[in-house]
Structure 1
Amino acid sequence: MSDARAAIGEADLHTHSTVSDGTESPARLLEQAATAGLWGIALTDHDSTSGWAEAAAAVPETGVALIPGMELSTREGYMSVHLLAYLVDPLDAALVDETARIRESRLSRAEDIVRRIGRDYALSWDDVLAQTAEGATIGRPHIADALVARGHAPDRSAAFASILHPQWGYARPHYAPDPLTGVRLIRAAGGVPVLAHPGTRGAEQVVPPRRLRQLVDAGLFGLEVDHPENRADAKPRLRELATRFGLEITGSSDYHGTGKPNRLGECRTAPDVVSKVIAEGTGTHAVLPAIATAEPPVE
């Protein structure tokens, strides 16, 4: 492991596959990462570890390291807050139970949204299923893709800005634990928690210091500061908070394939921070090219 760690480079620590709302398979993500010149990526599908085995199997051929992870849904009042969970134990009972509950809520929420939209627009559940990979957890992005296919929006982003925007009245929140519970779940499962894209709403909506202190005391590792959707005015504040609370700064693209304009590798995490993530995670192991003959992580 020490020789492999010496070669650690920049990584994109936030990517999605067809397991959740990305448009590329886990293996294809590794191929694209090689083309982008990345040392490694983290696969962080929403509330799921189902893509880990396929991605791990692609490490030897692509030469790209894999940090298994997930993007855990949490909620603070009316706001959705996401936590990137690296190297968790995929069989941890508490985490498995909680993510199953979240996915079930996502599904029932999606069915309800489609029913509501279907009263005013030509849209059915079959339309949504046609836009969903087998085994994927259906969510709003798949509904957005169905709206695009039906001609109700020009692209996924436009669907989110119009019909799927909460102000239009069709969308409803799904169940999710609060962020403090999320951080504790991740740490209890041997994982490394990072607050995802915390500056998308601007400086005035950055997590309050008192709440951040609670998350840090529970084991928060870092803030995803370098993210294409964090607003420019929020980034200095996030860096200040990271310094104050001793948090690491990560960078990621939040790549969804053609589902978002974000480009794989456009934001990256420095090698020293990647090394710290790998060192702190105890729930499962990173799959590194130099030791890619090791057993892949268990789903």
Structure 2
Amino acid sequence: MLIDLHTHSFVSDGTDAPADLIRAAKTAGLDVVALTDHDTAAGWPEAQRAADEVGITLVPGMEISTRLGSASVHLLGYLLDPTHPPLVAALDRILDGRNGRVPAICAQLQAVGIEVTEEDVRLSAGDAAATGRPHIADVMVATGAVASRDEAFAKFLNPGRPGYVRRYACPLEEAIGLVGEAGGVPVIAHPWGRSPGALTEETLARLTAIGLHGIEVDHQEHSPQAREALRGIARNLGLVVTGSSDHHGTGKVDHDLGCNTTDPDEYERILELATSAPSTGSAAAPRRG
């Protein structure tokens, strides 16, 4: 059984429609795929319909923007109820922060000679629930200012670069609690990729004590040495170990569907840990293809 537990559609910053993503996952030979768009469940219904059509199991999830001190940390929430009111309130605030900083980023880019307008970004984002830096990067690629999203981030959009604007992110401890309250399973995404110094074993132990259930170990941003060390930490703390592609369609290179996968026994642990398992916003377990 091949299981990929971290993918994105164009509902957030991927480039594929949810249904197209599911069909691509089936073509790639996956048996189980999680749709984990940033801070939204808006793609779940379309993805579930496609999963039913092609015969693949969809795990509904999302990747929540959080902060641990000054570090940005992404939290994957699986099988949670997206209508849980405190969670909805937190996601609304996060999305407002994402969308609200677009004018400031555009202004800062214009100040250094990069012509990006709010209208350009809106058109690039289309119907995405979360508008953000990847859509701005796509505009920069389209206008020839940079050659790729990676170059846009490295030169202009990452912290410390001329187009970076800080935004609101939910405190990590609060987000772990919200996912648990919503019946879901909280798993930290690429813990040593984005903020490698923030998530020590001691910190992960403290987070486990308040409800963290897993860490994403097998990820393209983790070296073999990092994966081995993280696997040891997970074993020490009793955490679920996941692996995934973090697929974004053409939005990220070297993140092909199924390039990293989750062991079936670890996937079963996630299913057992979930106390609410919605497929499209109702309390129903994932429908197996």
* Coarse TM-score class (shorter-chain normalised): over 0.9
Deviation of 1:286 after TM superposition, in Å, equals 3.9
Q: Which of 246, 249, 264 in structure 2 is aligned with 1:257?
A: 249
* Aligned match for 2:137, one of 124, 144, 163: 144
User: Which residue number in structure 1 is paired with residue 54 of structure 2?
Assistant: 62
Q: 1:86 to 1:240 in 2, by over 3 A?
A: same
Unaligned runs of 5+ in 1: 1-8, 291-299
Find the residue that maps to 1:48 and give its secondary structure. Answer: coil
Deviations 1:33-91 (A, max 9, x none): 11010001000000000001000111221111100000011011221101100011011
* Structure 1 pair 135–200 and aligned structure 2 pair: CA distance change class (3 A): closer
The answer (yes or no) to whether the contact 2:179–2:186 under 8 Å persists in 1 is yes
TM-score normalized with structure 2 length? 0.93
C-alpha spacing 1:200/1:231, structure 2 compared with 1 (3 Å): farther
| 1:50 aligned onto 2:11 | no
Instruction: Name the Cα RMSD after superposition.
Output: 1.5
Normalised to the residue count of structure 1, the TM-score between the two structures is 0.90
Per the alignment, residue 153 of structure 2 pairs with 160
- Residue equivalent to 2:183: 190
State yes or no: 1:92 paired with 2:91: no
Shift of 1:206: 5.7
- Say whether residues 1:215 and 2:207 are aligned partners: yes
Aligned 1:263-282 pairs, distance under 5 A: 263-282=256-275
Gap change, CA 1:67 and 1:148, over 3 Å in 2:
same
> Which deviates more from structure 2 when the two are superposed, residues 61-70 or residues 208-217?
208-217
Q: Write the distance in 2 (CA, Å) between the matches of 1:136 and 1:142.
A: 12
**Range with bigger deviation, 265-274 or 251-260:** 265-274
Asked whether the equivalents of residues 76 and 187 of structure 2 are also in contact (C-alpha less than 8 Å), the reply is yes
Aligned partner of 1:268: which letter? Answer: T
Unaligned runs of at least 5 residues, structure 2: 279-283
Match of 2:230 in 1: 238
- Structure 1 residue 272: Cα displacement: 1.2
Q: How many residues align?
A: 281
Residue 102 of structure 2 corresponds to which residue in structure 1? 110
What residue number does 1:297 align with?
A: none
Tell whether the 8 Å contact from 1:206 to 1:234 is kept in structure 2 after alignment.
no
Does the C-alpha gap of structure 1 residues 35 and 105 become closer, same or farther in structure 2, counting only changes over 3 Å?
Answer: same
